[in-house]
Structure 1
Amino acid sequence: MSPQQQPLRPMDPTEEAFLRVLGQVMTGLPRAIDADMIRDGGLRLSEYTPLMLLSEAPQRRMRMNELSDACNLTLSGMTRVVSRLEKQGFVQRVQCTEDLRGWHAVLTDDGLARLQEAWPAHLASVRRHVLDNLADHDLTQLTAGLRRIARTH
């Protein structure tokens, strides 16, 4: 019997409470970090994340579709973000030499400097909103559980 054919088991109160608060975290946390980053670092979370990912990528470059997947954005949404970053001189788009159809986003030296400048605001916000609130919990187990959830999509 496939999982879709098994009888549904209602959530118990603990499961229901967890799911509701998880939804609140999923929507509220990015807004809170974004507000902190704008106030303290002058860079939106939606701009910080691709800069961070590009800084970690080989040759500080990623294909646009890979970057959009990693940022959990549509390709058109990622294109808008990269266009803003490109206008500021933080990212450059370069045509892929492998197939000439795709494009790479490449982190510039100015983009790396901007990322380093915004990093303390990001770290402080993440510590305040997430890590400090989980200090007494097993982060290894929480991470493993969240990874299992992430792999299902």
Structure 2
Amino acid sequence: MTQTRWLDEREKAAWRGFLEASHRVERRLEQQLKEESGLSHPQYEVLVLLADAPGRELRMTELAHALITSKSGLTYQVGQLEKRGYVRRRSCPTDVRGIFAQLTDEGYEALREAAPGHVAAVREALIDVLEPDELTVVAEALSRVGHRLR
């Protein structure tokens, strides 16, 4: 049995800093989107991914994978967007089990309207707080973390 590698003070500070910053950034973005567009942050991310996809559509399984969420969580968010007319679902013609989520024109317009405020909030909460060299280090480090966990 291996011994636990406890965090030293520097490592604890990094971990706690990451937790606090990530939770506060997420809460700030959630608050901004709700107030300005009525969208949740996950719903906004669904719209972004669909807007960037060929034909503005993706299979639900691909969308769940890209959003790092469960199928049931995605189904709920897409259902909420569908009620607003921002997304529609359709069956996959080549796989009876497959479902596509497609961004509607109304959804694309909602995204266009929400994006400037969201980008401003991202800048205020994270980007503009960091010096350019710090931003590079953060981007590289978090990319490594994401890659390792994939």
TM-score (norm: length of structure 1): 0.89
Equivalent residue, structure 2, for 1:148: 144
Task: Give secondary structure in 2 for the equivalent of 1:43.
Answer: coil
Equivalent residue, structure 2, for 1:52: 48
User: Is the 8 Å Cα contact of residues 127 and 135 (structure 2) preserved in structure 1?
Assistant: no
TM-score (norm: length of structure 2): 0.90
Equivalent residue, structure 2, for 1:35: 31
Task: Give secondary structure in 1 for the equivalent of 2:97.
Answer: coil
In structure 2, the gaps of 5 or more residues are: none
Amino acid at match of 1:120: P
Task: Give secondary structure in 1 for the equivalent of 2:93.
Answer: coil
In the aligned structure 2, how far is the partner of 1:137 from the partner of 1:7?
Answer: 36
Task: Give secondary structure in 2 for the equivalent of 1:124.
Answer: helix
Question: Superposed, which structure 2 residues align to 1:76-91 within 5 Å?
Answer: 76-91=72-87
Task: Give secondary structure in 1 for the equivalent of 2:68.
Answer: coil
Equivalent residue, structure 2, for 1:132: 128
In structure 1, the gaps of 5 or more residues are: none
- Note the C-alpha offset of 1:27: 2.4
Equivalent residue, structure 2, for 1:23: 19
Length, aligned pairs only = 149
In the aligned structure 1, how far is the partner of 2:85 from the partner of 2:5?
Answer: 53
Q: Once superposed, what is the RMSD of the aligned Cα atoms? A: 1.7
In the aligned structure 1, how far is the partner of 2:22 from the partner of 2:94?
Answer: 37
In the aligned structure 2, how far is the partner of 1:59 from the partner of 1:140?
Answer: 33
Is residue 119 of structure 2 the alignment partner of residue 123 of structure 1? yes
User: Structure 1 or 2: larger helix share?
Assistant: 2
User: Is the 8 Å Cα contact of residues 42 and 118 (structure 1) preserved in structure 2?
Assistant: no
